[in-house]
Structure 1
Amino acid sequence: MAAHGSKKVIYAALAGNTLISITKFVAASITGSSAMLSEGIHSLVDTGNQGLLLYGMRKSARPADKKHPFGYGAELYFWAFVVALLIFAVGAGLSIYEGISKVLEPHPVSDPTINFVVLGAALCFEGWAWFVALNEFRTTKGKMGWIEAVSQSKDPTVFTVLFEDSAAMLGLIVAAIGIAISHFFHIPWMDGAASIVIGIILACTAFLLAYETKGLLIGEAASDEMELEIRSIVSAHPAVTMVNELRTLHRGPSEILVTLSLDFENSMPVSKLEAVIADLEDHIRDRFPPIRRLFIEAQSHKDHLDIAKQMDEQA
């Protein structure tokens, strides 16, 4: 996904959550609703999260330097992981704490009208932000299923916002149900119970985000389709006799590192070998612009197997 698409999703969520968090806190202070307070905390955390994602995108765009020769692309993955931790520690933790306090010491919610008005407005804002994120995610999903698309995605900004907004809408529904039961059926502790459920929703969201971003932080390969096509490009060259090894690594959503070990024709002079490698690099980079670093090693297939065997024995 292009960077401008990711930023559009984040800006939409940032604008919506900023307005929503203010109105939720005002409503919570007027009515004393624990569920509404949890929703305010939720929206405030989401607002901060979008700021962190934008910061991560800016920092990851820095050019490579001597200390970081492969660039800063992976910094976006770090900040996405921090977002998951914040959702769990702040959003889920405070919501569950507030809910337990309300269940242990329940008190009735005053006129809930303002709560329902705020929740309805929030649902509209969150729905709009969710729809923007969903449309952006669909552009990269292709024919893959939703779970597979999230698992294969290398851009955490979009699926993070999509998860956050999905959790937000579920939280709004839970808050509305809890407040309604608390007020109309005179069961004040249900307001606190709704806050606990909101916290559990946030905890589950944080776990999913942490799981996905952990894989990106550790390092994930490019798609199978890309690797197959790179192999096809290289194997089709008449000077290449064997593809010994192909390794790919995403350093960012649109920043890929590729290493190739190739067995070339033995009779080829060095000057021609250099020209062949340059030609292969041009073909691969033209086909896949996100490949920012490409290293091609000339190595006989036998030597490659011997080294691989030695590495296995040392492991």
Structure 2
Amino acid sequence: MLAALAGNLAIAAAKLAAYVFTGSSAILTEAIHSLVDTGDQGLLLLGMRRAGRPPDAGHPFGHGMEAYFWSFVVALMIFALGGAASVWQGLHKLAAPAPIERPWINLVVIGLAMLAEGSSFVVALRALNRIRADTPLLRSIRRSKDPNIFSVILEDGAALVGLVLALAGVSASAFLGLGWADGAASIAIGLLLVLVAAFLANETRSLLTGEAAAPRVVARIRAVLESDRRVAAIPEVLTVHLGPQEILVGLTLHLQDRLSRQELETALDELIGRIRATDPRITRVFMRPTAGGETDPPLARRPQAMAK
């Protein structure tokens, strides 16, 4: 991500230089876009670092939610600094169209930016492909619990589409004499960023408010419990992401009446180990065991009944 941040900063500088020499509104909008992307990646890095801090007295379950908070801040930045500023710049250019000077500079910068953004997009897409299997791309983005992956994919994808719009606007304005096209491209890029920001904000909002683990994770947990003869029924399987790589699992189990107390404790220890083995992100498992349909409070509170 550090390489992507440095690359975005270089691209932003090139776009700003191109704007100074050509006066293109679309290329200025793209420069703003790249500057916002650079700031966003810096915030995501900050979120990753803060999320990796160990648990403490004030945050006994760790700081994993920090990654989601900073991703939400990124969405607000894209909306306010990227989308709104781009639309305003486009409206300003539409109100007072001006010819683009030396358009070839814009075309060269846009081409180089496409190569850089395309490379970053491919790297992020490969990272997502390793975990999404046969799930459609959009659905896998919505199901992903790691904002560092889906934020980069959304930003780089929007950057590529934005560059295509800028290319169309610059070309139409410079070579077809359509003075309004440059400003229209800026507005289109701004609206694109607003849509991406809204989508990203909604996804991180869901994670911030306590999103459950993916259905396949829950299914594997249930499969482990259902395959054990000591488990009579599974009234409740609750999961929540405490961060991209941390899942808390809470269970209510009806265990067989014939089991002794020692056998119950052994069963709980073994089940916890098998559940945690289903997914390395499962860091905590809390069980509420019952027998004969009645809760046994002393056992439910014993340290053996939970994984820390």
Pair in the same fold by TM > 0.5: yes
Looking at structure 1, the residues matched to 111 and 226 of structure 2 have their Cα atoms a distance apart, in angstroms, of 59
Residue 301 of structure 1 deviates from its aligned partner by: 6.3
Q: Deviations over 1:44-69 (max 9, x none)?
A: 00011011111111111111111111
Please tell me whether residue 232 in structure 1 is matched to residue 223 in structure 2. yes
Residue 187 of structure 1 deviates from its aligned partner by: 2.9
Looking at structure 2, the residues matched to 286 and 176 of structure 1 have their Cα atoms a distance apart, in angstroms, of 50
Please tell me whether residue 210 in structure 1 is matched to residue 209 in structure 2. no
Match of 1:179 among 170, 177, 199: 170
Looking at structure 2, the residues matched to 12 and 142 of structure 1 have their Cα atoms a distance apart, in angstroms, of 27
For residue 167 of structure 1, what is the aligned residue in structure 2? 158
For residue 288 of structure 1, what is the aligned residue in structure 2? 279
Q: Where in structure 2 are there 5+ consecutive unaligned residues?
A: 296-308
**Secondary structure of 1:299's aligned partner:** strand
Within 5 Å, give how 1:92-111 maps onto structure 2: 92-111=83-102
Please tell me whether residue 192 in structure 1 is matched to residue 183 in structure 2. yes
Within 5 Å, give how 1:264-283 maps onto structure 2: 264-283=255-274
Query: Are 1:233 and 1:283, in contact at CA under 8 Å, matched by a contact in 2?
Result: yes
Looking at structure 2, the residues matched to 122 and 140 of structure 1 have their Cα atoms a distance apart, in angstroms, of 28
Query: Are 2:220 and 2:278, in contact at CA under 8 Å, matched by a contact in 1?
Result: no
Residue 275 of structure 1 deviates from its aligned partner by: 2.0
Match of 2:214 among 212, 217, 223: 223
Looking at structure 2, the residues matched to 53 and 301 of structure 1 have their Cα atoms a distance apart, in angstroms, of 49
Looking at structure 2, the residues matched to 171 and 231 of structure 1 have their Cα atoms a distance apart, in angstroms, of 45
For residue 77 of structure 1, what is the aligned residue in structure 2? 68
Match of 1:255 among 240, 246, 249: 246
2:42 is matched by which residue type in structure 1?
G
Looking at structure 2, the residues matched to 278 and 81 of structure 1 have their Cα atoms a distance apart, in angstroms, of 38
Query: Are 1:16 and 1:129, in contact at CA under 8 Å, matched by a contact in 2?
Result: no
2:274 is matched by which residue type in structure 1?
H
2:238 is matched by which residue type in structure 1?
R
2:86 is matched by which residue type in structure 1?
S
Residue 303 of structure 1 deviates from its aligned partner by: 4.6
For residue 302 of structure 2, what is the aligned residue in structure 1? none
Residue 147 of structure 1 deviates from its aligned partner by: 1.9
Please tell me whether residue 123 in structure 1 is matched to residue 117 in structure 2. no
Structure-2 change in CA distance of 1:226 and 1:187 (3 Å): closer
Query: Are 1:12 and 1:129, in contact at CA under 8 Å, matched by a contact in 2?
Result: no
Q: CA RMSD in A?
A: 1.6
Moved over 6 A (4+): none
Looking at structure 1, the residues matched to 220 and 117 of structure 2 have their Cα atoms a distance apart, in angstroms, of 40
2:132 is matched by which residue type in structure 1?
K
Q: Deviations over 1:80-129 (max 9, x none)?
A: 11111110110001111111111111211111111111111111111111
Residue 300 of structure 1 deviates from its aligned partner by: 4.3
Q: Deviations over 1:168-203 (max 9, x none)?
A: 111111111111221223332321111111101111
For residue 67 of structure 1, what is the aligned residue in structure 2? 58
So what's the TM-score if we normalise by structure 2?
Answer: 0.91
So what's the TM-score if we normalise by structure 1?
Answer: 0.89
Residue 271 of structure 1 deviates from its aligned partner by: 3.0
Query: Are 1:35 and 1:195, in contact at CA under 8 Å, matched by a contact in 2?
Result: yes
Percent identity over paired residues: 44
Looking at structure 1, the residues matched to 96 and 197 of structure 2 have their Cα atoms a distance apart, in angstroms, of 28
For residue 31 of structure 2, what is the aligned residue in structure 1? 40
2:210 is matched by which residue type in structure 1?
G
2:222 is matched by which residue type in structure 1?
R
**Secondary structure of 2:241's aligned partner:** strand
Aligned length: 295
Q: Where in structure 1 are there 5+ consecutive unaligned residues?
A: 1-9, 305-315
For residue 16 of structure 1, what is the aligned residue in structure 2? 7
For residue 6 of structure 1, what is the aligned residue in structure 2? none
Query: Are 1:74 and 1:251, in contact at CA under 8 Å, matched by a contact in 2?
Result: yes
For residue 232 of structure 2, what is the aligned residue in structure 1? 241
Q: Deviations over 1:225-267 (max 9, x none)?
A: 2212212222332322211211011112211000111112334
**Secondary structure of 1:63's aligned partner:** coil
